[in-house]
């Protein structure tokens, strides 16, 4: 009986030892911090654009009349979130215009998005408005995503976009530097009225994200009597003006009085194809307001 009890005690001790030694997995990573930032199975990493959209932008920002498509950034989808954040020019800014883009990859300190999430300036407004600020953990997710290159949904590091030039408007002046593009045939959406035998300078406002105005190429204005056919158009070469526009000159006596003259401008940067504005696919009113009739 005593021998049986002794074996029982020894077996129990061994059993307890085995149970104690199997509680800890000797292969477990000793550097795992086991905090609440670990990604549950099947969930997107919170430090990716998918994770940020699911955990922050969609639930805290894409509210009705806010970032649901009513205002930019547009947080309705992962794609719209990315496209309206990364290298997207800011609209609202600090008084000293310290920020250029909403998200600057690899630099959260230069990213307007991050500033809006942490600012204490009541005029600028901390995001999300009228809601609890992001936690330090959530802010770390945003920082990590930006500083890791602001990767897209496919894991590609963001690169600075090189967009084609854009034509944003034009103005016409006579030889006395008087503006002459205010009178139109029949309201705002109709051809301009220009005087006959008048020397005119047309300033075409052009913008480009990577090339200075003076280094843009082609710089041609074309004038045609046909809204869609510019094969026989009168061509005028433009020159850079004041770093904001291209100026081209013509005399209105080159056109038949009473005829509608249609205008298009052509410009390109070194990397992109030629931009034609307006073009056949432009809304009709762009083509109309770019036309004129000589009296």
Going along the chain from its start, the domains and CATH numbers come out as: 49-147 (no CATH), 166-294 (2.60.40)
Average pLDDT, the chain: 84
Closest-CA residue to 267 (of 162, 196, 193, 164): 164
User: Rounded to 5 degrees, what are φ and ψ at 147?
Assistant: -70, -15
DSSP 173: E
276, pLDDT greater than 80: yes
User: Rounded to 5 degrees, what are φ and ψ at 226?
Assistant: -115, 130
- The predicted model gives 150-159 an average pLDDT of 91
Give the list of residues 6+ apart from residue 105 with CB closer than 8 angstroms, or none. Answer: 86, 87, 146, 149, 150, 157, 158
- For residue 174, give the 3-state DSSP assignment: strand
Identify how many contiguous H helices and E strands the chain contains and give both numbers: 6, 10
Rounded Cα distance between 278 and 282, Å, is 6
Q: Which is more confidently placed, 238 or 95? A: 238
140, pLDDT greater than 90: yes
Confidence of residue 222 (pLDDT cuts 50, 70, 90): very high
Confidence of residue 14 (pLDDT cuts 50, 70, 90): very low
**Residue 69 CB-density burial (10 A; 0-12 exposed, 13-18 middle, 19+ buried):** middle
Q: Report how far Cα 48 is from the mean position of its chain's Cα atoms.
A: 19
Please, are residues 147 and 107 in contact by the beta-carbon 8 Å criterion? Answer: yes
What per-residue confidence (pLDDT) applies to 131? 75
- In terms of pTM, does the model score above 0.85? no
Residues in the chain: 295
């Amino acid at each position: 009986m005593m021998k049986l009890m002794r074996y029982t005690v020894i077996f129990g001790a061994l059993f307890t030892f085995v149970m104690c030694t199997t509680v800890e997995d000797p292969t477990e990573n000793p550097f795992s911090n086991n905090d609440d930032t670990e990604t549950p199975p099947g969930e997107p990493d919170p430090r990716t654009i998918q994770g940020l959209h699911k955990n922050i932008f969609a639930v805290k920002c894409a509210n009705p009349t806010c970032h649901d498509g009513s205002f930019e950034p547009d947080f309705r989808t992962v794609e719209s979130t990315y496209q309206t954040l990364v290298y997207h020019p800011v609209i609202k800014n600090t008084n000293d215009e310290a920020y250029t883009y909403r998200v600057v990859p690899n630099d959260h300190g230069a990213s307007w998005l991050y500033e809006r999430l942490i600012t204490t300036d009541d005029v600028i407004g901390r995001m999300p408005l009228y809601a609890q600020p992001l936690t330090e953990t959530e802010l770390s997710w945003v920082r990590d995503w930006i500083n890791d290159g602001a990767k897209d949904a496919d894991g590609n590091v963001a690169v600075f976009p090189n967009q084609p030039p854009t034509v944003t408007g034009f103005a016409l002046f006579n030889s006395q530097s008087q503006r002459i593009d205010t009178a139109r045939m029949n309201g705002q959406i109709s051809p301009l009225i220009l005087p006959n035998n008048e020397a005119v300078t047309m300033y075409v406002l052009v913008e480009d994200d990577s090339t200075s105005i003076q280094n843009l190429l082609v710089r041609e204005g074309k004038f045609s009597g046909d809204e869609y056919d510019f094969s026989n158009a009168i061509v005028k070469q433009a020159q850079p003006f004041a770093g904001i526009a291209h100026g081209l000159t013509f005399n209105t006596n080159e056109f038949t009085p009473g005829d509608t003259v249609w205008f298009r401008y052509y410009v390109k940067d070194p990397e992109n194809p030629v931009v034609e504005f307006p073009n056949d696919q432009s809304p009709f009113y762009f083509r109309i307001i770019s036309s004129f009739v000589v009296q």
